[in-house]
Amino acid sequence: MTSIEVNSDNLAFLECFSSSTRIKIVELLNIKPMNIGELAELLGVSSAIVTKHIQKMEHAGIVATESATGKRGMQKVCSLQLESVILQFKTNKPVPQKSYIASIPIGQFIACDIKPTCGMVSESRMIGMIDDPRYFADPEHVKAKHLWFGSGWIEYRIPNFLLSNQQLKRLEISLEIGSEAPGYNEQWPSDITFAVNGVEIGTWTCPGDFGSRPGIFTPQSFNLGSQHGLLKTLSVTDKGTFMDGVQISNVTIDAIGITFGKEVTLRIVSPESAENCGGVTLYGRGFGNYDQDIDIHMYY
């Protein structure tokens, strides 16, 4: 289930529910997928107006569209992308005075040890061969916008810009992530563990590998199954570690040892020993439902 914080960063999503027309569109699409013309006729408005509403809802990840052949040529078929959402009015966030943000492209990993199924895709092509882990050592891996592996781990370096007189108060990691099944399987749980500086900060079970609906940003030419993931926010604070505001461990910010001049690493693991060893799929800019890479927010 997706969790959305009620704040200005999510204004585009929240604004979708300020229109009675867009609410009615949700009600209609809850009955069945419909094309633009069908929606316009039922709403009593023009197709151009419906198109503008759909574009806004598609950008927010509420609605997905795909082109299909109809009686009068190609038509855009709309369907609900989200099943349910939790609105978070209160969070565990403190309000630190200062922060900085860094964005890590998913192809910019510094080390990995993975097993098939696996693969990487840039904006325009496959990188290497599918299900051959050797290509994760190819220098071209830095261009990857979408990658997946059946088990093992992948590690990233987090920029550390803290000065000697600054102390980290909160670390936030936001990424679009899913399980990894051959092709896709939306009922494919995966126990995914996260570690910072070698310290396991928590495990989250992803419910599946999503491919029944196209990803909003996933190129139409991509047809290997997985289409999008879930946008998750991992937070390490002085109270513990949280996933979308729900505590998943007692590991605190002090335990991960982020200080001036020290390298910071993020490892994403699908352990073979896990009860649900369901792999990992990562989506960067140009893929999935959220046009972002791995976003890091450091509060100090």
The per-residue pLDDT for 1 is: 61
131, 136, 140, 141: CA torsion to nearest 10:
100
Model confidence at 101, in pLDDT bands (50, 70, 90)?
A: very high
- Report phi then psi at 53, rounded to 5: -65, -45
Would you mind telling me the total number of residues written for the chain in this entry?
A: 300
pLDDT in tens, 223-282: 899 999 999 999 999 999 999 999 999 999 999 999 999 999 999 999 999 999 999 999
| Separation between Cα atoms, residue 236 and residue 111, nearest integer Å | 23
Is the model's pLDDT at 93 over the cut of 70?
no
Q: For 58-91, what is each residue's pLDDT tens digit? A: 988 899 998 887 776 788 899 998 888 888 887 7
pLDDT range class, residue 37, cuts 50, 70, 90: very high
Residue 94 has what pLDDT? 54
Instruction: Work out the burial of residue 51: count CB atoms within 10 Å of its CB; fewer than 13 is exposed, 13-18 middle, 19 or more buried.
Output: middle
pLDDT at residue number 90: 79
Residue 126 has pLDDT above 90, yes or no: yes
* pTM as predicted: 0.71
Q: Is the pLDDT of residue 96 over 60?
A: no
Name the token pair of 98. Answer: 């200062």
Handedness of CA 239, 244, 247, 248 (dihedral sign): negative
Residue 259: per-residue pLDDT: 92
CA-CA-CA-CA torsion sign (251, 252, 253, 256) = negative
Estimate the share of the chain in helix, then strand, then coil, as percent rounded to the nearest 5: 20, 40, 45
Domains of the chain: 2-85 (1.10.10.10), 91-299 (2.60.120.260)
Is the Cβ–Cβ distance between 36 and 47 less than 8 Å?
Answer: yes
- Cβ-contact 83, 2 below 8 angstroms: no
| Mean pLDDT score across all residues of the chain | 93
Mean local confidence (pLDDT), 179-190: 97
- Residues in a beta bridge with 265: 157
The predicted structure's pLDDT at residue 137: 97
Query: Token match 């290997």: residue?
Result: 224
CA atoms of 230 and 210, how far apart (whole Å): 9
Q: How confident is the model at residue 284 (pLDDT cuts 50, 70, 90)?
A: very high
Query: 299 or 10, which is more confident?
Result: 299
How would residue 218 be classed by pLDDT, with cut points 50, 70 and 90?
very high
